[in-house]
Structure formats: C-alpha cells, structure tokens
Amino acid sequence: MTEKLMYKCDHCRKVMATVAGMERHEKQCLHNPDGHNCYSCDKSFLGDYDDDCSYSVAHDVPICAYTQDIIRENFADRCCGYKRTDKSYHNRTEKDAEAAVDAELNGQEVQNAL
C-alpha cells in the first residue's frame, strides 16, 4: 500500500493529486465566491440548442446568450463579459440571460459616448 498526498478544494469536496490541478479548479469552482465559471455567469442559461451543422436540437444544455453557443468549456477567465451571479445557468431563463447581454451592450455604448 502506498500513502499518497492529496489536495482538497477549500470550497467543495473535490480532491486532486496535484497542486496545479487544484489551483486551476479553485479558480473556477462553482462554490468559490470569487470563482470565475461560465456556469455562474449572468449570460448563461439552460436551453435547447439548434445545431445548424447536424440539423439536430440538443435539449437542456448550458448556453451562453452572448455567443449563442453551447458552453463546452469554461472561458470565464478570458471573457471580458463575465459577470458572476448567485444563480447558476440551470436557474436562469433565456430571457434573463439575454437581458444581461443587452444591459452590458447598452452600458458599453454609454461608456463609449462619454
């Protein structure tokens, strides 16, 4: 038997074998109040995605209202439009998410006008 050192997230129950992996996880952990994660963004929602390539519809998938695409990986760290909310994507409607996008685009116009 070999004893192995493991690293536990300070915000959830996740355990990992490497420091680098855990540091990456903690930055986007949904339970981290300062975490950056597309699933907690005010522009994400649970919806049906119309795939133009395969002519099929994916039901109940996480979607970004800004890119209009399925959220396949976490971009929040690199996204200038990321805004954390207390609700995750499955608690939000498409209308909420689109309102958040509109609010941000209007805000940018106001800033540009100044």
H or E element at residue 69: strand 69-70
Of 28 and 85, CB closest to Zn ion? 28
**In angstroms, how far is the first alpha carbon of the chain from the final one?**
67
Question: Residue 31 Cβ, how far from Zn ion at the closest point, in Å?
Answer: 5
Of 22 and 97, CB closest to Zn ion? 22
Q: Residues in the site for Zn ion, rule: CB under 5 A?
A: 9, 11-12, 14, 29
Q: Compute CA distances 20 → 6, 49, 74, 83, 93, whole Å.
A: 12, 34, 17, 25, 35
Question: Residue 90 Cβ, how far from Zn ion at the closest point, in Å?
Answer: 18
Question: Residue 104 Cβ, how far from Zn ion at the closest point, in Å?
Answer: 27
